[in-house]
Chain A
Amino acid sequence: MDYKFQVNLGGIIDLLSNHIYSSPQVFVRELLQNAVDAITARALADPAHRGEVEIRLPATPGAQPRLVLSDNGAGLTEDEIHQFLATIGQTSKRDADGAGRLDFIGQFGIGLLSCFVVSEEISVLTRSAKPGSRAVEWRGRADGTYTVRVTGDEMEPGTTVRLLCKKGSEEYFDAGEVRRLAHHYGSLLPYPVRLSAGGAAPVLVNDEGPPWRQAFADPSRERESYLEYGRRLFGMDFLDAVPLRSAVGDVRGAAYVLPHPMSLSARKTHRVYLKNMLLSEDAEGLLPDWAFFVKCVVNANALRPTASRESFYEDDALASTRDALGRTLRNYLVELAEEDPRRLKQIIELHYLSIKALAAEDDDFFRLFVNWLPFETNMGTKTLTEYRRDADTVLFAPGRDQFRQIARVAASQGLCVVNAAYTYDVDLIFKLREVFPGVRLELVDGKSLSYSFERLTADEEEEVSSFARFAGRVLSELNCAVEVRKFTPGDLPALYTSSEEADFRRSIETTKEVADSFWSSLLDRLGDSADGDAEGRLCFNYRNPLVHKVARVGDDTLQRLAVQVLYVQALMLGHRPLSSKEMRLLNEGLSGLLEWGADIVIGGVQ
């Protein structure tokens, strides 16, 4: 008897192929998933049942290719076939809140429907494992018509699906491609999946069981086996492998230590299987955020997928699983510190950021690892042990610019300063104080550093006071204060430092040079709030011979030109951009000095 779909099948197929499934290849996943569900259903009734899946690509010379997939699962009764077809009419998507797959029968229909993306015609020959069931055949075509008939054939319980390739989809029926896809989705299935093409003998698709299903007598064999598995899976030689296991979520798998550094913002994705079928190659949220030095492959039997089936649903089970896996990785690092410090050192060199992230949130781990972690200082990279060997107080500069401004001068004062601009470094430095009472911390910036410079004697002060006042007047319109102190290195005439607020004001000034009046006044208002130190400061070095000379020059013009040039030079040494005003100052200063010098020479010649 003929039936007609109550829905527009063509429309549904279009919907599936263009919206729900990311690519036509998923038909292999869906067929395999149907077989797996059927085998699971049968194993529920008969725990001793051993599942088997067979895929055949018969030779079809001169005709469209076919694909045949058989399983020895629960099969369907005639009633169930009608039921799954009814389901297709009711819903074309998985349940919206991701609570899992529909019941086995409804899901079967949805999975089958995806095959129409690449098939002209589909037939399903099935016999239910329920006692007294007869073999039934369903035949559906892409135009939406289908037939159901009881064949009365003798067959073992199970299901055989036959696909007739649609014109233009031949590439998906290629034996190599089908084998690749079957392996891709089903390589972890705990029963044989075989493939035969063109009448050749069947080959096992999922020949390698994952290492966590094997028992190892020898730990080094175990490690080798894990690494080999990772190499095959991800095409990478990893530094190490860590077996993973969590009772919550019923998770087994492996974490592989990446052989290259990972950036903080890169997506941390893992290959995850749900009940041994591939769920996603780029699942997130499986590990704690700090653990971005590894790439994982895991199978979970008791986690919930998201509605899109791209990842796991964020619930308590996932949170507990994440904690358990995080603990495993943490313990791995702790054990490594005792058992294989060389390897740990190698890992830290590549992945200190990840390990710092953990240390920042875990006090005990911090205590154990703080002396391993590298920090950038103005005297090279140091661990905090090395640092504290030479100094009681940890000096740190809080930002990239602050560090750069003072690095050189601080070093020549013999001060070792940590660059705490990097993510986690400030947290770790603050934590030092919490975890090791008695450790002193001191923030160093341009201002505090210049306070530490040696003051001038009263006589010296007297000597330069008129110069300092003069320079202050020259630079006041540039929002810059002036000081004279003694510091090393002596060849440095002046040090320019500024705060974040001063930099912000500078950026406003630069922008106002191009902005119209509306925006300029808006920026002025915006800058109003700068509550910190909104001035830059230029600290002249009394020890510098040039500064000495300039300070004593009686000529206002020459002194002004020199101050301008020294100011701009100090800006450039601090990697500051020059505003057009400052560029003008530099040009004016240089040409003024040249002219002045030339006049002397010419005057001298004359």
Chain B
Amino acid sequence: MSETYEPGGRETVERLLAEALESIKDGPEKIAVLEEAVRHADAAGDLKLQYAAREDLVEAAYFGGAPDKAVVAYTWCLAQFDRHPGEFDEWRLLWRYKWMVNVIPDFPQIPREQIHGMIEDMERRFRRGGYGLRSVHQYRYRVARFMGERDEAIRQYRRSQAESPDDVSDCQACRIDEQSSFHVYTGDDARALEIAQSLVSFRHFCRTVPERTFARLLLPLLRLRRAEEAADFHRRGYRLSEVRSHGSIEYVSDHVVYLALSGDPLGAARMAAKHYRWSEENHNPHERFIFYRAAWLALDLLAGRGLTEVALRLPPTFPLCEESCLYETARLRDWFSARALEIARRFDARNGNDHFTRELADLDALKRSAEPVV
């Protein structure tokens, strides 16, 4: 490591970009390398290099559990794109815009008007670029769904489906996954599973599908009492998530919930403990919420079985960390439930309803749906 100040320099930036893209998984390590590349590019004052480094940072941060950093780097790119017409690729910028509207509702400190303002800006830019509005409606659907506005969500979904896909629409795998997810949302689990058939057989796949598909269809399968398929989806899906990184915490949480509800709350709690550090290093409040909620469910079921103490390996960064690895189940459960509740309240305050706290209250219903232990 050099002790002296090394001015940016194209070569340093390119070396760092190559290092990040070729050798490291999505996650904090990769993000740190790309942040350093951005710094060097800034120091060099080379606009194209600054832009290229930030494009990579946007992607790594978005997929690696630091969407706040992705938004900052994206904002910079967007501003430079506007200041230097014709200099940068519009398609790449607009494609990434979808990531931004996808994560921005996940931050409860962002007010509703700003979220909707962002989608309006996206719509203007898509129109200006000559692209269709499928994605624009799609994200209005997602935002409405996120905020618990069911009628509006369904209306926007239908609008998005009525538009034909184009270059900035999601890939085919993601489109099918979205359809399947919509049917879960509207309560048609069986149809959701039918639609996902070509995804779980890997006929269509992409960076996040079918990892996401497997995870989201676990509950529908349990509700339909199709236990064997659920076990198969769990095995195949968890294997995909386990080897990924912080961005997969949401899917890991689905697997935790699955284990908890299918009669193995101890396995669920262990899985949550194993991935706890991902939740700590993940900057997305919504994904943390999902994780806390899953851990809460697992521990609550354990406590409900009369297990007063549980042995779990949690890292020293965990606030209640015990060197003995022995934890009072109820205390641990309460810690996770308090975290989940705190975030849920912030979301509800922003959204102006009780969608999130109600979802937490629904855990009881979920528990009742759990298979009795054999």
Contact = CB atoms under 8 A, between A and B. Distances in A.
B351 to A, nearest CB: 15
Nearest to A512: B75
A413 interface: no
B36 A400 contact: yes
Interface of B: 1, 3-6, 8, 22-25, 27-29, 32-33, 35-36, 38-40, 42-43, 68-69, 71-73, 75-76, 78-80, 82-83, 104, 107, 109-111, 114, 117-118, 121, 197, 201-203, 232, 235-236, 239, 242-243, 277, 285, 313, 315-316, 323, 325
B72 A575 contact: no
Interface in A551-606: 572-573, 575-578
A83 interface: no
A315 to B, nearest CB: 7
A399 B79 contact: no
Given A263-B22, A423-B29, A430-B316, A526 B243 contact: no
A171 interface: no
B72 A526 contact: yes
Contacts of A421: 29, 32
Contacts of B323: 433, 437
Given A315-B235, A400-B36, A575-B5, A522 B75 contact: yes
B203 A307 contact: yes
B234 to A, nearest CB: 11
Contacts of B38: 577
A399 B242 CA distance: 22
Contact of A519 (B29, B39, B79): B79
B107 A529 contact: yes
Given A96-B197, A319-B235, A577-B42, 15 more contacts: A96-B201, A264-B24, A289-B243, A400-B29, A400-B32, A427-B277, A434-B325, A503-B35, A504-B72, A507-B73, A514-B76, A514-B83, A522-B114, A525-B110, A526-B107
A592 to B, nearest CB: 21
A519 B32 contact: no
A308 B40 contact: no
Nearest to B198: A96
Contacts of B313: 434
8 contacts: A265-B24, A404-B1, A515-B75, A518-B114, A525-B107, A526-B71, A526-B72, A572-B5
Contacts of A265: 22-25
Contact of B33 (A306, A400, A519): A400
A8 interface: no
Name the interface size band of chain A.
Answer: 35 or more
A577 B235 contact: no
B201 A516 contact: no
B43 A577 contact: yes
Interface string A284-319: 010001000000000000000011100000111001
Given A434-B313, A525-B110, A526-B72, A308 B202 contact: yes
Given A264-B24, A319-B235, A525 B76 contact: no
Contact of A511 (B72, B118, B232): B72
B303 to A, nearest CB: 24
Contacts of B69: 504, 507
A422 interface: yes
Nearest to A524: B109
B1 A407 contact: yes
B109 A528 contact: yes
A507 B83 CA distance: 19
Contacts of A514: 76, 79-80, 83
A519 B78 contact: yes
Contacts of B121: 518
B111 A525 contact: yes
Nearest to A404: B1
A602 B295 CA distance: 73
